[in-house]
């Protein structure tokens, strides 16, 4: 599919290489959270998140690729999950969510694509829906040779992620390696 975005990885999923539990624990998800999975793909992390936020929480799973959202919808139905809202939307544009409503937003394996296609300055819509004091967690492939993941020249380092977060008034709270291939950087929103 060719769209206005140059690098989307439609239909890709990190399911077999990044454990949803691991990334969500590192992101420090809590029971009752309103959680945004931005660029959710097939939504395997959203499914794990739905159990962690519980019945008082809510998961908003957004992807631009309708086929991925269809896969997620089927999984939600099969598991009889009630607290995930799957949405087809472009996360670089105005989101179909209330302003200041999200406690924790995650972008897993998405940001390097935005950097590569020059869309990194379009994250203000995610900032808009996060609560003041909310957390933006970015999970990315480590910038080291590995058999899985995007080509090394388009991977981004934790420092680059931190610099992007700072541009959007996030304070970097922590950054560490998770699993075999990934790291996570968490930013706290001062707005």
Ligand X SMILES: C[S@@+](CC[C@H](N)C(=O)[O-])C[C@H]1O[C@@H](n2cnc3c(N)ncnc32)[C@H](O)[C@@H]1O
Contact 109, 137 (CB under 8 A): no
What span, in angstroms and rounded, lies between the C-alpha atoms of 140 and 84?
23
Q: What are the residues whose beta carbons fall under 8 Å from the beta carbon of 16, sequence distance 6 or more?
A: none
Residue of 19, 33, 49, 63 that binds ligand X (CB under 6 A): 63
Residue of 19, 50, 92, 175 that binds ligand X (CB under 6 A): 92
What span, in angstroms and rounded, lies between the C-alpha atoms of 50 and 43?
10
Nearest CB to ligand X, comparing residues 94 and 98: 94
Is 14 a binding residue for ligand X by CB under 6 A? The answer is yes
* Cβ burial, residue 87 (10 Å; 0-12/13-18/19+): middle
Q: Which range in 24-32, 59-67, 129-137, 159-167 contacts ligand X by CB under 6 A?
A: 59-67
Is 175 a binding residue for ligand X by CB under 6 A? The answer is no
Task: Single out the residue of 113, 103, 127 nearest to residue 14, CA to CA.
Answer: 113
Structure tokens at 98: 């209330």
What span, in angstroms and rounded, lies between the C-alpha atoms of 50 and 111?
23
Binding mask 102-141 for ligand X (x = CB under 6 A): ------xxx--x----------------------------
Is 12 a binding residue for ligand X by CB under 6 A? The answer is yes
DSSP-based three-state secondary structure for 54: coil
Nearest CB to ligand X, comparing residues 50 and 109: 109
Is 73 a binding residue for ligand X by CB under 6 A? The answer is no
User: What number of chain residues touch ligand X (CB under 6 A)?
Assistant: 24
By CB under 6 A, name the binding residues for ligand X. 5, 8-10, 12-14, 18, 39-41, 44, 62-65, 68, 90-92, 108-110, 113
């Amino acid at each position: 599919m060719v769209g206005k975005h140059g690098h989307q990885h439609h239909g890709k999923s990190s399911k077999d290489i990044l454990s949803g539990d691991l990334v969500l624990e590192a992101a420090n998800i809590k029971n009752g959270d309103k959680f945004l999975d931005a660029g959710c793909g097939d939504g395997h992390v959203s499914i794990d998140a739905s159990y962690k936020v519980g019945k008082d929480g809510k998961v908003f799973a957004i992807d631009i690729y309708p086929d991925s959202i269809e896969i997620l919808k089927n999984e939600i139905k099969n598991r009889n999950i009630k607290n995930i809202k799957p949405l087809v939307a472009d996360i670089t544009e105005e989101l179909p969510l209330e302003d200041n409503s999200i406690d924790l937003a995650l972008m897993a394996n998405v940001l390097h694509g935005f950097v590569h296609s020059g869309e990194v300055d379009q994250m203000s819509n995610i900032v808009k829906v996060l609560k003041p004091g909310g957390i933006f967690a970015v999970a990315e492939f480590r910038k080291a040779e590995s058999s899985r993941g995007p080509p090394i020249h388009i991977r981004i380092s934790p420092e680059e992620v931190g610099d992007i977060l700072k541009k959007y008034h996030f304070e970097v709270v922590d950054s560490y390696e998770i699993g075999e291939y990934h790291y996570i950087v968490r930013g706290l929103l001062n707005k």
